[in-house]
């Protein structure tokens, strides 16, 4: 059956145009509107990540236990939550991280945060904020790359989320990034402990918390004979290898 008209569930616009026999494109927010029994969002396009059926089944059950589902638009929310879990897992998040992200995503959806906003950007902003709130932050660039959006898009989405919902936004200490970096680089806890010692010493380096964390874990790994490169450390933290090198020089001096 060909879809001829529909109202966008995100922005409420009725300005849609058909893109195939079963889907419409919202002219206002570019949301994909499908038939009555399908969930539509931009992740349904060809560049969406493929998900195994086992992951989908476990995801739906876990979220539905924690998040209230009430109205006709909830199918879209459940699909968004399932996609968010994939990204959280890709960022080495555990079940608690997934549940907290789902709760924040459901609240933002209920409060119309996604109205007139890109779904991909909104999901990424919620994930980034959720990790920060749980004191286990992920570097902004790494989150953006994982969610397949630009750094600037994530900054914009997060800024709006922080402003509209009073999301906690204090500066994250560099040490909070160390557990994630250690896992990303397959290093042991001894390296993380040494990196913390370097950070706690009276170093006179300035800059972003992520660049300082990357430099300290690089120095700690090298001290203990671990095989890491500036490029690998930079990629794990979302900074350039030149930035890592510069910070190591500042700390060493």
- Phi–psi pair at 36, nearest 5 degrees: -65, -25
Buried b / exposed e across 87-98, counting CB within 10 Å, b at 16+?
bbeebebeeebb
From residue 210, alpha-carbon distances to 69, 126, 160, 221 in Å are 37, 19, 22, 16
**CB neighbours (10 Å) of residue 39?**
18
With a cut of 80, say whether residue 97 has pLDDT above it.
yes
- Cα separation, 36 vs 34, in Å, equals 7
Task: Lowest mean pLDDT of 50-64, 89-103, 111-125, 137-151, name the range.
Answer: 50-64
Reduced to 3 states (helix: H, G, I; strand: E, B; else coil), residue 148 is coil
Residue carrying the six token digits 């700690």: 220
Within the chain, all domains assigned CATH 1.10.472.10 are found at: 53-165, 174-252
Interval 76-93 mean pLDDT: 94
| pLDDT given at position 219 | 95
Q: How confident is the model at residue 67 (pLDDT cuts 50, 70, 90)?
A: low
Query: Domain 53-165 is in which class?
Result: mainly alpha
- Phi–psi pair at 142, nearest 5 degrees: -65, -40
Q: How confident is the model at residue 246 (pLDDT cuts 50, 70, 90)?
A: very high
Q: Which of 118, 126, 129 is nearest to 153 (CA)?
A: 118
Question: Which residue would you say has higher pLDDT here, 75 or 69?
Answer: 75
Question: What's the pLDDT tens digit per position in 219-240?
Answer: 999 999 998 999 999 999 999 9
| pLDDT given at position 166 | 65
Q: How confident is the model at residue 204 (pLDDT cuts 50, 70, 90)?
A: low
Q: How confident is the model at residue 54 (pLDDT cuts 50, 70, 90)?
A: very low
With a cut of 80, say whether residue 253 has pLDDT above it.
no
Q: Which of 55, 53, 51, 109 is nearest to 80 (CA)?
A: 109
Q: Give yes or no for a contact between 212 and 196, defined as CB atoms under 8 angstroms apart.
A: no
Question: What's the pLDDT tens digit per position in 120-146?
Answer: 999 999 999 999 999 999 999 999 999
Question: What's the pLDDT tens digit per position in 159-185?
Answer: 999 887 766 567 789 999 999 999 999
Residues, the chain, total? 253
Both structure tokens of 217: 């874990």
What does pLDDT average to over the chain?
80
pTM of the model: 0.72
Q: How confident is the model at residue 75 (pLDDT cuts 50, 70, 90)?
A: confident
Return the CATH number of the domain spanning residue range 174-252.
1.10.472.10
Q: Give yes or no for a contact between 108 and 122, defined as CB atoms under 8 angstroms apart.
A: yes
In 61-201, beta strands by DSSP E: none
Helix 189-200 vs helix 209-223: angle between axes, to the nearest 10 degrees?
120
Question: Which residue would you say has higher pLDDT here, 231 or 50?
Answer: 231
From residue 86, alpha-carbon distances to 3, 80, 90 in Å are 30, 10, 6
Top-ranked range on mean pLDDT: pick from 2-6, 54-58, 166-170, 187-191: 187-191
How many percent of the chain have pLDDT more than 70? 69
From residue 128, alpha-carbon distances to 104, 125, 144, 195 in Å are 11, 5, 9, 24
């Amino acid at each position: 059956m060909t879809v001829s008209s529909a109202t966008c569930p995100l922005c409420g616009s009725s300005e849609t145009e058909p893109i195939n026999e079963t889907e419409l494109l919202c002219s206002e927010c570019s949301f994909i509107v499908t038939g009555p029994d399908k969930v539509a969002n931009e992740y349904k396009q060809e560049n969406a990540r493929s998900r195994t059926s086992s992951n989908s089944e476990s995801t739906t059950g876990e979220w539905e236990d924690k998040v209230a589902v009430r109205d006709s638009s909830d199918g879209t929310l459940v699909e968004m939550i399932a996609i968010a879990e994939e990204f959280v897992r890709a960022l080495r998040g555990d079940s608690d991280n997934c549940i907290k992200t789902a709760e924040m995503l459901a609240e933002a959806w209920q409060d119309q945060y996604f109205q007139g906003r890109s779904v991909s950007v909104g999901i990424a902003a919620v994930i980034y904020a959720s990790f920060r709130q749980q004191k286990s932050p992920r570097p902004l660039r790494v989150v953006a790359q994982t969610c397949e959006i630009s750094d600037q898009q994530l900054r914009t989405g997060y800024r709006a989320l922080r402003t509209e919902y009073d999301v906690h936004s204090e500066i994250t200490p560099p040490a909070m990034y160390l557990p994630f970096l250690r896992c990303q680089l397959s290093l042991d806890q001894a390296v993380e402990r040494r990196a913390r010692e370097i950070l706690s010493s009276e170093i006179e380096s300035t800059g972003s918390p992520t660049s300082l964390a990357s430099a300290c874990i690089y120095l700690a790994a090298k001290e203990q004979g671990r095989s890491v490169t500036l490029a690998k450390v930079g990629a794990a933290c979302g900074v350039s290898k030149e930035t890592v090198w510069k910070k190591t020089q500042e700390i060493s001096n």
